[in-house]
Every structure is written in C-alpha cells, then in structure tokens.
Amino acid sequence: MEQKKVLQFSAAFMYEQLVKYIKKCERANYTETSQLGLEAYLSACIHAFCDYFERYGNSDEYVAACRFVNNTIKHNAGYITYEEISGGMEFPTTFPIEIEPIRIVWKRNPNMQTYSEKQNNAYKKVFEGEEIVPTLKCLYDRIRK
C-alpha cells in the first residue's frame, strides 16, 4: 500500500475517533479521565494531520496552526492542554437549573514558548477560542479528497 494512502487513512481515522470521543464527552458527565482521553486523541489527530500535510498537502493557516500545536506538544517542557471545556452541569447547583451544552474549544496558554511566529499567529487567528471539531474538519475534508 502506498504511503500517501496510509497517511490519509491514519489522519482521517484519528479525526473520526476524536469526534466520537468528544461526542461521548458531551453526552456524559465530563471528568478528569475524559480530559486525559481527549488529550490523547487530540495529540494523535494533530500529529497524523501534520504527517500527512508535511508530505502531501499545501500549507495554509490551518496547517500552520496544526504545526504550532504539534510542535508545542513535542518541544515545550511541562504539560500543556489545548482545550477548554465549558457548559454542562456543575455542583453545587442552583434553581432553576440551567444546563448549557458542553463546548470544547482551543485555548491559549500564555506560558507557552513558541519559536515560529507564523505558526503562533495562525493558531491565534484560526484556532484560539474556536471549537476543536469544526476547526479540524476543514483539514479532514482536504485529506479525504
């Protein structure tokens, strides 16, 4: 099997698994264990996207933002989380109960060191504050073509 097909399958598969996991988190009570799983799926998905686009894709702001995340995961000391979870149910609760949908968005870690201003700017422009799944879907769609 040719390498391009393997990388396409890997990237698409990891994105699909990430989407399934996020949907599961949105339906269930999100926990610390859920966050570890989310970090694992997100890291694997980002890495697979970078592997594919490094060899076969055109670079744009979305690819640069992906590279920013991938590089900071690999090269920054200490644990860095890329998602922020909002919504869901919190305790103690007050009445009337208002349960907002869980949103998992890209966040900014101000203590993160970065070496590529282009990647950093791309992350701020197209990822930061946005929901994770839709921002990665455009890359997924390009891989699936």
Which pair of structure tokens corresponds to residue 18? Answer: 């990430």
Tell me the C-alpha distance between 73 and 70, whole Å. Answer: 5
Average pLDDT for 58-65? 92
Beta bridge partners of 88: 100
CA distance between the termini of the chain: 18
Please report the pLDDT score of residue 17 as a whole number. 97
Q: Which pTM was predicted?
A: 0.82
Q: What is the pLDDT of residue 78?
A: 45
Q: Is the pLDDT of residue 32 over 60?
A: no
Domain boundaries, the chain: 3-144
How many CA atoms are closer than 13 Å to the CA of 15, on its beta-carbon side? 24
Residue 60: Cβ within 10 Å count? 14
What percent of the chain clears pLDDT 90, i.e. is strictly above it?
42
pLDDT > 70? residue 4: yes
Question: pLDDT band at residue 79, thresholds of 50, 70 and 90?
Answer: very low
Burial 34-45 (b: 16+ CB within 10 A, else e): beeebbebbbbb
Evaluate the omega torsion of the peptide bond into residue 134 and state whether it is cis, within 30 degrees of 0: no
